[in-house]
A and B are shown apart, each in its own frame.
Chain A
Amino acid sequence: AQSVTQLGSHVSVSEGALVLLRCNYSSSVPPYLFWYVQYPNQGLQLLLKYTTGATLVKGINGFEAEFKKSETSFHLTKPSAHMSDAAEYFCAVRTGGSYIPTFGRGTSLIVHP
């Protein structure tokens, strides 16, 4: 079985501050991990993904995430928040044995001027 836990339903930062969105996964086999972003009343858009190889993954819009197997984590970071980053962020996991992605509950990022 696979599952994802996103810590914090809301994260609030000031513009220019570091963004850190937390994601922990549970999987009995090596996972494939994804971060998606959703703007209001729109679908989900892929930010970045980890499959194999380098554990630090860079995505679009300046975001990156690091896969830490020992901590079963895949936290999303961005050095400097921009107002346009305000959105809902979802972490997801898939495994080789199941093609169905499992999503976390999402974290709403609020960016203050």
Chain B
Amino acid sequence: DGGITQSPKYLFRKEGQNVTLSCEQNLNHDAMYWYRQDPGQGLRLIYYSQIVNDFQKGDIAEGYSVSREKKESFPLTVTSAQKNPTAFYLCASSISGGGNTEAFFGQGTRLTVV
């Protein structure tokens, strides 16, 4: 079955650590996105990528980094510069170009600072 796989489902980070969240899709989608979800704030865009080896900052990119070396993969690194990283992170993908198609989401990764 086609879909998006995020791992791990739960992740704990110590102060000062970098952690990487995995996102893999087998939908053959060009566009991929990372969103951060906090209670009452909806989904906020961190980074997005329309094509391999190209990505752009979203609304809250500070303290995060991404790479897009393969079409299927779009990992997100939460760096020590992100001062409040505890949140639910969602990866999504869609057909690029033309807004009439929906985004497909992974099951999310819950990151907690300990």
Contact = CB atoms under 8 A, between A and B. Distances in A.
Contacts, number: 66
B interface residue count range (under 10 / 10 to 19 / 20 to 34 / 35 or more): 20 to 34
Interface residues of A, number: 28
A43 B102 contact: no
A32 B110 CA distance: 30
B99 A94 contact: yes
A83 interface: no
B94 A101 contact: yes
Interface of A: 9, 31-32, 34, 36, 41-46, 49, 51-52, 90, 92, 94-101, 103-106
B83 to A, nearest CB: 22
B102 A46 contact: yes
11 contacts: A36-B105, A41-B110, A44-B105, A45-B105, A96-B98, A99-B94, A99-B98, A100-B48, A101-B92, A101-B99, A101-B103
A99 B96 contact: yes
